[in-house]
Structure 1
Amino acid sequence: MNDAQRRPTLLLVDDEEHILNALRRVLRGEPYDVLTASSGNEALALLAASDVDLVVSDARMPGLDGPSLLAEVQRRWPEALRILLTGATDLDTSIRAINQGQIYRYLGKPWNDDELRFTLRQALAHQHAEREHQRLERLTLEQNRRLQELNASLEQRVLDRTAELQQTADMLDLAYEELRHSYVTATEVFSSLLAQRLPGDKQGNAQVIALVRAFAVEHQLPETDRRDLAMAAALYNLGKLTWDDHLLNRPSDLLHREERERYCRYPAQGESLLMALEPLHDAGRLIRHHQERWNGTGFPDHLHGEEIPFGARLLKLAVDFVELQCGLILQRPLPREDALQFLARYAGRLYDPELCQQFIDLCTRHAPDLLEADPSILAVDTRRLEPGMILARNLQADSGMLLLNAGKQLSRALIDKLTAFETSEGARYTLHVRQPAAGTDLAKEQPR
């Protein structure tokens, strides 16, 4: 049974039987296999005999304590995630667990049942994503090794199977491209999944991403800043993931006091959910501060003026502009022009005045769909595709699965595959493409 099929195995370690019983009750009904141990040495024996995905250990135990146990787990079974459960306020214990055991997180006693369940789900989801990433890397390296062997020993056969090898080379190229942009792509796919919680007229993540990207290109922001902005734009509402549908659909100016308090916590919660992913730390910082206001009345940290990161100031403009039109800020959705007037009216209070004007200028010059403003971009169905055309935006299946990245040059084989995929899915897709530059020799053009 592979990792995707088997149930995750959790090991709970505590020297107090009633604590273990309480943890088992919390996890009753969860899709996990649960093992328990009443000491550090018993836990090590179970780890040696079983495939354990996550260890939750009490900090203070006789003999081998929690930090020492988790340090040993990290040394011998580094793929097993580690969570420290402590009822003590001993800072040294927590620091030792973090430094030696490299723990994923620590939780206090008494714990919140919902928080514990959510933390375990989040930890295992992160572990699954990392394992899948490693699997793709191994698969790509293995395919590359096999191609090298074929090139060295079966050159004549390779020449006879040019079409098949070209298809394999395209797939390898796509695999490498996905690896290089894995985090950016993953955030956009996850963003589309988040959007499914909302009605179609309130799904604004894609528009927010398009706005910040257009601004970044026009103002020639560094590539690193563009990537962080794109990821932050995709996941800015990650902290709302645990909200019920009623709260997700409610305009922010109609929230009651308790709802408002929860709303004000979502940017910081979004950052916290990304802390375990080092490449997303800078994007998480932008998410944390995208509801700060120029006059210092925003949240969560009440930053003022240029204390607010530039990317967070830009993200707030894009988010507010889109959510004003979706009816997620005011009770009445605003038309596009009214939303721009709203931004201008609150420049210097809610928004960086100079940046606000630049943003309004961008939106004024371009159509609502920024791609429609570019005459070089065509919207075509698969029957009108031609070899050499280049994708101008990501192509996703109706299920939300990413099919092709923006920037991919289409070949005849790839067009045929898209047509066959449409037929098998019973769907019709519209692709936004650019024609190849004049004078390009498509016969010599190599896949990107």
Structure 2
Amino acid sequence: MTTLIQKHRPRLLLVDDDREVLNRLCHLLRNQPYDLATATDGTHALALFNEMPFDLVLADAHMQGMDGPTLLTQIHNQNPDTIRILLTAHPELNMLVTALNEGHIYHFVHKPWDDNELLLTLRQAIAHQDIERERQALLETVQVRNQELNELNTHLEQRVAARTAELQQTADMLDLAYEELRHSYVTSTEVFSLLINQRVPVEKQTNKEVIGLTRAFCQHLKLDEGQTQDIVMAAALYNIGKLSWPDALLEMPSDTLYKKSRDMFRAYPGRSESLFMALEPLQDARAMIRHHQERWDGKGFPDNIKETEIPFGSRLIKLVIDFIELQKGLVLERQFNQDEALLLMRKFSGKIYDPDLIEPFVTVCTQIVPSLCVNDPDVKVFNTHQLKPGMKLARSLNADSGLLLLNEGKVLTALIIERLIAFEAAEKTQYSLFVREPAFVSEIVNS
């Protein structure tokens, strides 16, 4: 993509009333391509923000006087384009709701943070901001072009054919810009969903598997792209209402909970839904999130609806979530293997699960997912040094820590490849990527 705006060195504002934390952040970022400024309270931070613009503000949640969510809300009101990240050691539900609905934060960073994950989060945030700025510049260019075309049409009717072609090109550009923005939103949603994973051991983490299996199931059912994206976002965020739970409760099988813990479990779908009440792109996904614990026979929660009253996406992700959580030991006290989980789920077809979805789901789990992409002749596996600009990811790429690096469908650029190689070197690891090659790249590689 041609750069539409002049790039500059990103300016970061770090806000924390603990000077030791600020010193650690400055030390971590001293060799990074950022200009840094610091503040020890919200008032000082706003004064600095009024003196000069900042591309990104990283603020502690709990500060004397003005807390982090209040500061980020004011910054959002003054300049919505500034990326806002909240740093917190003790996430509280009310604070999370305020930060999401009023501060429109981009990401949470949990104290104590992992240096590599924090650096990656900042890089992704700045890259997301660059994409949004380029999209806005593209829209402005399109608006100017439309005005020019209108003026030409008044005086030059003989150019109708040429004008029609240009209008079509403009419409295509707008469609591409919108699709890129929506795709970026889905990617951001998946990154945000991994917050809950950071609080449980790797063997209990579910979000990555739930996202991947949900996407494969939607593709098997041949759902359209819009419906698939909504269902995948719901699957990514289904358990975000558990963020306020104690760590020990996150690892307990749901069937062993009782009294207060049981009440918290039955309330989490509604809390997950309420966190995203103000986010317009998640309106369709919200209902799916709320009802993903309903049962086909009407004995689920929170609303005891049944059969086709349950949103289709909720019925779909219910299968995926239970399949993954049974194998993680998050439903019953023992961990099931794949065959045991599918056998148990078949037993409850027509009681817990949609009877029309259970067999297609079994097919996806036993035949399609194990060989996903590998048997596709258009998909090849490359290491990072074999990548070429224009290649398109056929599978999402996650870091060894589980953090989402690149989403499925992302078209690789020279800059992305360069950053991926650098990250691989820093992590002292090697990644294999499943990619689809456009024709012109295939010719270059094979020549």
Superposition TM-score, scaled by structure 1 size: 0.63
Partner SS for 1:351: coil
Deviation, 1:385, is: 4.0
Partner SS for 2:297: coil
Corresponding residue for 1:126? 104
The 5 Å alignment of 1:2-401 reads 5=15, 7-8=41-42, 30-31=62-63, 33-34=65-66, 54=73, 79=77, 116-123=94-101, 125-127=103-105, 137-138=132-133, 141=136, 179-368=181-370, 370-372=372-374, 374=376, 376-385=378-387, 389-398=391-400
Deviation, 1:218, is: 1.9
**Cα displacement string for residues 286-343 of structure 1 (whole angstroms, at most 9, x for unaligned residues):** 0100000000000000001111011100010010011111111011111101111111
Does the 8 Å CA contact 1:366/1:373 hold for their aligned counterparts?
A: no
Q: Number of residues paired by the alignment?
A: 332
Residue identity opposite 1:366 in structure 2: I
The structure with more radius of gyration? 1
Alpha-carbon distance in 2 for matches of 1:142, 1:412: 21
* Closer/same/farther in 2, CA of residues 438 and 359 from structure 1, 3 Å limit: farther
* Closer/same/farther in 2, CA of residues 410 and 307 from structure 1, 3 Å limit: closer
Q: Higher RCO, 1 or 2 (CA under 8 Å, sep at least 6)?
A: 2
Alpha-carbon distance in 1 for matches of 2:425, 2:441: 34
Alpha-carbon distance in 2 for matches of 1:439, 1:80: 44
* Closer/same/farther in 2, CA of residues 80 and 334 from structure 1, 3 Å limit: same
Alpha-carbon distance in 2 for matches of 1:304, 1:240: 24
Does the 8 Å CA contact 1:397/1:403 hold for their aligned counterparts?
A: yes
Partner SS for 1:275: coil
Deviation, 1:209, is: 1.5
Residue identity opposite 1:254 in structure 2: T
Among 418, 421, 440, the alignment partner of 2:420 is 418
**Cα displacement string for residues 254-301 of structure 1 (whole angstroms, at most 9, x for unaligned residues):** 112221111000000000001011111111110100000000000000
Alpha-carbon distance in 1 for matches of 2:441, 2:72: 55
- Consecutive unaligned residues of structure 2, counting only runs of 5 or more, are 1-10, 16-38, 45-59, 80-90, 108-124, 142-175
* Closer/same/farther in 2, CA of residues 441 and 232 from structure 1, 3 Å limit: same
Alpha-carbon distance in 1 for matches of 2:92, 2:415: 49
Alpha-carbon distance in 2 for matches of 1:438, 1:135: 27
Does the 8 Å CA contact 2:196/2:242 hold for their aligned counterparts?
A: no
Alpha-carbon distance in 2 for matches of 1:405, 1:80: 31
- Consecutive unaligned residues of structure 1, counting only runs of 5 or more, are 11-27, 36-50, 56-76, 82-112, 147-173, 444-448
Partner SS for 2:336: coil
* Closer/same/farther in 2, CA of residues 317 and 181 from structure 1, 3 Å limit: same
Deviation, 1:442, is: 5.0
Deviation, 1:375, is: 6.1
**Cα displacement string for residues 36-91 of structure 1 (whole angstroms, at most 9, x for unaligned residues):** xxxxxxxxxxxxxxx97558xxxxxxxxxxxxxxxxxxxxx99279xxxxxxxxxx
Superposition TM-score, scaled by structure 2 size: 0.63
Deviation, 1:355, is: 1.3
* Closer/same/farther in 2, CA of residues 403 and 349 from structure 1, 3 Å limit: closer
Alpha-carbon distance in 1 for matches of 2:71, 2:248: 38
Residue identity opposite 1:262 in structure 2: M
Moved more, 306-315 or 433-442: 433-442
Does the 8 Å CA contact 1:388/1:442 hold for their aligned counterparts?
A: no
